[in-house]
Chain A
Amino acid sequence: QQPVQSPQAVILREGEDAVINCSSSKALYSVHWYRQKHGEAPVFLMILLKGGEQKGHDKISASFNEKKQQSSLYLTASQLSYSGTYFCGTEIETGANNLFFGTGTRLTVIP
């Protein structure tokens, strides 16, 4: 039930854009995105519910295609503070509120 994330790692220069993908073999109710900096706890970024909505948060946005059981996280004009490991968490049943996390994408932004 664990979703698959790609790429596993990416290095960007400040100002560049990146896309992180999350794919599940199960029908999804929602997708969560979290960012974890080294040695710290994961921090919530956003939730996307089924319906194909797209959400935005500053220069970080995401989309959710429930038919394809895929979500993508878009980071535009990256900043040094964006560095960290990004995890998607997928919820496969309505009301279960239980997430299965991907293996993460390590993003490094360099000056």
Chain B
Amino acid sequence: GAGVSQSPSNKVTEKGKDVELRCDPISGHTALYWYRQSLGQGLEFLIYFQGNSAPDKSGLPSDRFSAERTGGSVSTLTIQRTQQEDSAVYLCASSLISGGAKSYEQYFGPGTRLTVT
């Protein structure tokens, strides 16, 4: 089956412009995550959606960042008034959470490389 897909794969934008990054999770996966990975760095958690619950936004670095997930499927990460420090690879992941006291593997998309000039 299809994996997690993200678009665009690359995005170059000018400082101050807004950008939207899209994530299509694996069909049926109830959980969706956004991470940011700067060059040579680890994965920085941004936001987490699970089913109809309120998203966990605790990782968003500023109020310029927001995300939504429509219909429990596709998600869009929006960065307003982009800054050069926003340049990074933005990774989306999804997982199938079926309840109970377990932990679930995450399937990652290929990422969107954002460059702010």
Contact = CB atoms under 8 A, between A and B. Distances in A.
A91 B45 CA distance: 12
Interface string B61-81: 000000000000000000000
Interface residues of B, number: 26
Contact of B105 (A29, A47, A95, A98): A47
Contacts of B110: 40-41
A43 B108 contact: yes
B50 interface: yes
B45 A99 contact: yes
B41 interface: yes
Contacts of A29: 103
Interface in A5-57: 29-30, 32, 34, 40-44, 47, 49
Interface size class of A (residues with CB under 8 A): 20 to 34
A100 B101 CA distance: 18
B102 A42 contact: no
B42 A102 contact: yes
Contacts of B102: 49
A99 B102 CA distance: 13
Contacts of A96: 56
Contacts of A87: 42-43
A44 B107 contact: yes
Counting from the closest, the 9 A-B pairs by CB-CB distance are: A30-B103, A41-B108, A101-B43, A103-B42, A44-B105, A42-B108, A101-B42, A104-B42, A98-B48
